[in-house]
Structure 1
């Protein structure tokens, strides 16, 4: 059990480091606050033949660290090619991600047996800015690549003496 947790931790750190170098940015634009509501599904991914939608058909657009924050509760889903990780306060899960177009089937193993974020289907929105994960034994959640908003502690003002010139 300890070895599995170490491997999972190492995989999570590697994924964070790899996605931290992403060149994607919203240019400082503020996003709408999360309402908690999910948009209704528009049908099966890939239905209706080809699509000119930016998010459709490109599995590489699924890659990255996707975040969901509600208050102080933060959930992350990281997808890197054929590997995925979900991390929340209760558990860390990792395993294969089988991608097809703008959809990834997640089949993760968790360090907590009662985790609802182990198996599910991740679908990228048409504009590529939102990832919706429909967990098999849990909720349907929306994730964005927005940075996590965590209040940083205030730094105390310190008067540092300066050396006399000379």
Structure 2
């Protein structure tokens, strides 16, 4: 299953088997709070750590899996 995470200007969106949206903060790591349209709870709250190179974000979802995301776009200004 492919999991995709999009972050920008405090908003977050995630696609997997579920479509989820919410917000994030990037103080002391990345904190994500999301709601899935179908009520799924697997990836609704999590904490992420950015790799030193700034290209990989590893998110540990509360009571869920750990996902590693690779940056494919440019950071927004």
Q: Which position in structure 2 is the counterpart of 1:129?
A: 55
TM-score (norm 1): 0.41
For 1:16-165, list aligned pairs within 5 A.
73-88=1-16, 90-100=17-27, 103-146=29-72
Q: Distance in 1 between matches of 2:7 and 2:34?
A: 12
Stretches of structure 2 lacking an aligned partner (at least 5 in a row): none
SS at match of 1:108: strand
Query: 1:120–1:136: 8 Å Cα contact kept in structure 2?
Result: yes
TM-score (norm 2): 0.82
SS at match of 1:123: strand
Identify if the C-alpha distance between structure 1 residues 98 and 146 changes in structure 2 by more than 3 Å, giving closer, same or farther: closer
Q: Distance in 1 between matches of 2:40 and 2:2?
A: 18
Moved over 2 A (4+): none
Stretches of structure 1 lacking an aligned partner (at least 5 in a row): 1-72, 148-166
Measured after TM superposition, the shift of residue 146 of structure 1 is 4.8
Give the structure with the higher percent strand: 2
Q: Distance in 2 between matches of 1:111 and 1:134?
A: 21
Q: Distance in 2 between matches of 1:123 and 1:99?
A: 9
Give the structure with the higher percent helix: 1
Q: Distance in 2 between matches of 1:74 and 1:94?
A: 17
